[in-house]
Chain A
Amino acid sequence: MISSPLFVKELKEAKWKIITGLLITGITGASLPFLVDYLGVFVEQMAMPEWARSILGQQLGNYPLYLWSNWYGKNLLQFSVAFAVIIAGPLIAGERARNTLEFLASRPLSRVQIILTKAAAGSVSLGVIILVSTVITLVASYAAARPVPVAWFMSGLLPQYAGALVFFNLALMLSVRSDDGLKAAVIAGGIALLLFAAEWVAPLRGRTVISMMAASRSFVTGDVHFGHLFFMLLLALGLLWAALTAFRQSDV
């Protein structure tokens, strides 16, 4: 099902995206444990509404809460969604735009193989960014003498990755229907932004893929919420299936 030459080619093409992703997310994650003291001073000295000071003070006074909410609930959440659409957007549309799709499709590869191999390579690239940057964050936390339980912290990875795959496959589906990778990525990113915004609407709060990725229940219990995980994986598979069907029906 997976073509190894194509898989290697895709990883090579994603090389700079992976490096950029690791740099940005790695530096951000590594800085989180060291910023907590400065942020405490900042909150004390800055003029701000009392409710904001209260929330920030609560976070800063509880290091595990601070780390989880800033990493899984904010920084990694935003970066993983962004890199998901940046990696997936050009996968098919980019081949079309640079006129290489015909070259690829005229080789002994089925459409299923092309899509699955590209999806696999992209998912691995995305997974590397999410996993390595999270490990860097954990190591930095220990380096800053602020240890957190490893298993507990790493339990946030699964929902984060599953949610990122939803946006990855959404961008892939749009990529199949487009000849502009940037356009596919921007539309998928726009849909993600709407879901971020939906978190501000009370009836939707906690019910979107975004909130499932932040996995606040895992923070409290250290357990993975398998219902949310299953839902996101099912959604990701559905979008992959839609991308596959559209690609099989399209002319090259």
Chain B
Amino acid sequence: MREYAIETEELTKAFGDVRAVDGLNLQVPVGSIFGLLGPNGAGKTTTIKMLLGLVAPTSGSARVLGFDVRTQSEEIRRRVGYLSETSGMYGYMSVGELLSFTRRLYPRWDKAVEDKYIDLFRLPRTRRVSALSRGMRTQLGLILALAPCPELIVLDEPTNGLDPVGVRHFLQVILDEVSGSGQTVLMSSHMLYQVERVADRVGLLVRGKLLLSKPMDQLKLGQKKIQAAFQVDPPDKILKMPGIERVDHDGRRYVIHVSDNVDEIVAKLREIPHFAVEVVDLNLEDIFMEYAGNGSEPS
């Protein structure tokens, strides 16, 4: 039994002097919903394209569902459902024609899934794709990604352009479809609240480098911010305790960013004469800003 649906090792893509993806070591466990976060231009789309064999890596290696991305990309695409915000569809075809064309390219196709979501989204089979709204095109793209019975579903910024109701609906479909199915989902986004809603693991990509990759609950439990106002300068050895990521201060007002060992650190800080020592929980957006904002690598 394979442990990881996606495994990369020092995966790198350079466009001239620019390294869009830089030594990426990513592991996505089978059956997980993995949120690949990162600001625009972080290298998320390039990473996904390398995983599907659409872009050749400059160096490093990657295996998707056990297949090598350089030599077995067709096998990968046979088993992957892919939806990309940037990919176009044949606008001159009707919805039915596009479904029929795509269906015949796959060895397996679940017509029941196709029919179920065509009805749910109320997509008219006879309407031309070019006449669909952006939201309807995304819904059609989702059907094209789900119907081939994929082992891995890859969604690249899938909800761009959807209204809040559309986003909620979209995410619910993903959750409904993959829950209990054993399918793995890799979803890239810069919309943090969406990833927070569905993902059980997250990776943060900034300037082509993976700054962290953790289970969501572990990330949110471990990542804290301690705000403190001391009466005296705190000793250096306390500020360098294991688990402390970064220390910002203005005079004796301190903001201490911790990723682990929170209780022990707070206890030590409270031994110092202080006005206040307060632990603040971080949501995914705060954590994202912690890393993406300064681009530092976690210790």
Contact = CB atoms under 8 A, between A and B. Distances in A.
A196 to B, nearest CB: 34
B193 to A, nearest CB: 27
Contacts of B74: 108-110
Given A4-B104, A251-B49, A107 B77 contact: yes
Contacts of A103: 87-90
B101 A251 contact: no
B49 A108 contact: no
A103 B93 CA distance: 14
Contacts of B88: 98-100, 102-103
Contact of A102 (B78, B84, B106): B84
A100 B77 contact: no
Interface string B27-67: 00000000000000000000001001011100000000000
A98 B91 contact: yes
A9 interface: yes
Contact of A106 (B52, B104, B107): B52
- Which secondary structure dominates chain A's binding surface? loop
A102 B105 contact: no
Contact of A107 (B49, B56, B90, B102): B102
Interface residues of A, number: 19
A3 B102 CA distance: 12
B56 to A, nearest CB: 6
A108 B78 contact: yes
A108 B56 contact: no
Contacts of B52: 106
Interface in B71-101: 74, 77-78, 82, 84, 86-91, 101
Which among B74, B88, B107 has the greatest number of chain A C-beta atoms within 10 A?
B88
B86 A102 contact: yes
- Which secondary structure dominates chain B's binding surface? loop
A216 B174 CA distance: 66
B224 to A, nearest CB: 41
Contacts of B56: 249, 251
Given A3-B105, A5-B104, A252-B55, A106 B86 contact: no
A137 to B, nearest CB: 33
B8 to A, nearest CB: 17
Given A252-B54, A252-B55, A108 B87 contact: no
B86 A99 contact: yes
Interface in A101-137: 102-103, 105-110
B237 to A, nearest CB: 51
A251 B54 contact: yes
A231 to B, nearest CB: 34
A109 to B, nearest CB: 7
A105 B89 contact: no
A4 B90 CA distance: 17
Nearest to A109: B105
B174 to A, nearest CB: 18
Which among B74, B84, B89 has the greatest number of chain A C-beta atoms within 10 A?
B74
Nearest to B81: A106
A108 B77 contact: yes
Contacts of B107: 108
B54 A9 contact: no
Contacts of B55: 251-252
A145 B104 CA distance: 50
A99 B85 CA distance: 11
A106 B84 contact: yes
Given A102-B88, A106-B52, A108-B78, 10 more contacts: A6-B105, A98-B88, A98-B91, A100-B88, A102-B84, A102-B87, A103-B87, A105-B54, A106-B54, A107-B77
13 contacts: A4-B104, A9-B101, A102-B54, A106-B52, A106-B77, A106-B84, A106-B87, A107-B102, A107-B105, A108-B105, A251-B54, A251-B55, A252-B49
Interface of A: 3-6, 9, 98-100, 102-103, 105-110, 249, 251-252
Which 6 residue pairs spanning A and B have beta carbons closest together?
A99-B88, A5-B104, A108-B78, A252-B54, A102-B87, A251-B55
